[in-house]
Amino acid sequence: QVTLKESGPGILQPSQTLSLTCSFSGFLLSASSVGVGWIRQPSGKGLEWLATIGWKDVKHYNPSLKSRLTISKDTSNNQVFLKITSVDTADTGTYYCAHSDPGYNYFDYWGQGVMVTVSS
Amino acid sequence: DTVLTQSPALTVSPGERVTISCRASESVSTLMHWYQQKPGQQPTLLIYLASNLESGVPARFSGSGSGTDFTLTIDPVEADDTATYYCQQSWNDPWTFGGGTKLELK
């Protein structure tokens, strides 16, 4: 059974760095044809794909945010991380991690999401 | 970026057939996927690669289309289908989502 769970700071101030963790089970990121992505959703709004990391450590970023994003993984502990630098209020929302098929890049298992608020 | 356009909302009666459309600003081949998101929950995958039903999803859901025009069909619609439905393309970088169609039942 595939499960994913996000964790994060809850609230942070503008200009700080947001650090998110995705802890997963039921699959191995060292296995072939596996990826984990991050998607966010401002409250009451739509979905935005941020980044995906694959089993070969291949990283793929949304170009509009690439300069601020870093995705990484800890295969031994079944975790994927996302850092977003220089946050502002526009980064407020729910952040999801999701298991993806790295060949076709759809998201077949999602975590419950973690709410992040950027406020001074 | 590839823009995916969806109608904002639909209202239907239980038992009816409903089609939800998604139009892409450029071709996405068949790399179009559909998700359902109920209030307060994470999205769940319904259809991948335009027409493939995800395991465990009721056969009332189906998808069709290629290129720039895609459709998600629910037939018949049930009360539990009240949700927002999103399309997502993965042919053009970056992967993008539609704005969502909120489905309400009478």
* pLDDT tens digits, one per residue of B39-98: 999 999 999 999 999 999 999 999 999 999 999 999 999 999 999 999 999 999 999 999
Give the Cα-Cα-Cα angle A18, A76, A8 (nearest 5 degrees): 20
CB of B40 within 8 Å of a chain A CB? The answer is no
Taking the Cβ of residue A113 and every Cβ of chain B, the question of whether any pair is shorter than 8 Å is answered with yes
d(C-alpha A104, C-alpha B3), whole Å:
18
CB distance from B27 to chain A under 8 Å?
A: no
Above 90 in pLDDT, residue B15?
yes
Mutation target among A106, A107, A112 for the B interface, most CBs of B within 10 A? A106
Do the chains contact at B54 and A63, CB–CB below 8 Å? Answer: no
B100 interfacial to chain A (CB closer than 8 Å): yes
Per-residue pLDDT of chain A (120 residues; tens, 9 = 90+): 999 999 999 999 999 999 999 999 999 888 778 899 999 999 889 999 999 999 888 999 999 999 999 999 999 999 999 999 999 999 999 999 999 987 899 999 999 999 999 999
Looking at residue A29, its pLDDT comes to 87
Residue pair B78/B60 in contact by the 8 Å Cβ criterion: yes
Round the CA-based radius of gyration of chain B to a whole number and report it. Answer: 13
| pLDDT at residue B61 in the model | 98
CB contact under 8 A, B88 and A113: no
Contact A110 B44 (CB under 8 A): yes
Is the CB of residue B62 less than 8 Å from the CB of residue B53? yes
Strands B4-5 and B96-97, bridge-based pairing: unpaired
| Per-residue pLDDT at B45 | 98
Cα gap B23→B69, rounded to integer Å: 5
Which residue in the set A47, A62, A105 is minimally distant from B43, CB to CB?
Answer: A47
Supply the pLDDT for residue A27.
Answer: 92
Specify the pLDDT at position B79: 95
Per-residue model confidence (pLDDT) at position B30:
97
Chains A and B form CB pairs within 8 A to the count of 57
Is B44 near chain A, with CB under 8 Å? yes
Q: Looking at chain A from residue 20 to 39, which residues have their Cβ under 8 Å from any Cβ of chain B?
A: 39
Residue A103 pLDDT: 84
The CA-CA-CA angle for residues A45, A97, A56, to 5°, reads 135
Q: What pLDDT is stored for residue B25 in this prediction? A: 98
A105, B99: Cβ pair inside 8 Å?
A: no
Residue B8 structure tokens: 């904002």
What mean pLDDT comes out for the span B19-25? 98
Report the DSSP pairing between strands A59-61 and A48-54.
antiparallel
CB B76 within 8 A of CB B14: yes
